Amino acid sequence: QVQLVESGGGLVQAGGSLRLSCAASGRTFDRYTMGWFRQAPGKEREFVAAIRGDAGSTYYAGSVKGRFAISRDNAKNTAYLQMNSLKPEDTAIYYCAACSSTGYYSPKNYDYWGKGTQVTVSS
């Protein structure tokens, strides 16, 4: 069992930055691929970014490449999502999730989820 808690969401103006954190319980954090997903009103949950357990590989949705950066600190059992140059269309609830298998791009492949944190970007 892994419990995930997101933090760092809030309201920011377009062009600004936010850093989301995802604190995980357990002692096997480094065995999980960590992902970030988001869901806006009326839309399906979509993939944002993922990072392998050893931090050797990262993956991004095309809409956030060059603006967002995922990272992790396994010693702290924490994953991060640095979001720069934010746009109003980034507004959504952001969720972190842990995947013990493969298929980082799909929420169906993730075993554990946080409750989400709201990110609102104003124009």
pLDDT tens, residue by residue, 22-71: 999 977 899 999 999 999 999 999 999 999 998 889 999 999 999 999 99
Backbone angles phi, psi at 111, to 5 degrees: -90, -35
pLDDT at 1 over 90: no
Task: Give pLDDT tens digits for 87-123.
Answer: 999 999 999 999 999 899 999 999 999 999 999 999 9
Burial 68-93 (b: 16+ CB within 10 A, else e): bbbebebeebbbbbebeebeeebbbb
Cross-strand pairs, 95: 37
Are the CB atoms for 6 and 96 separated by under 8 Å?
Answer: yes
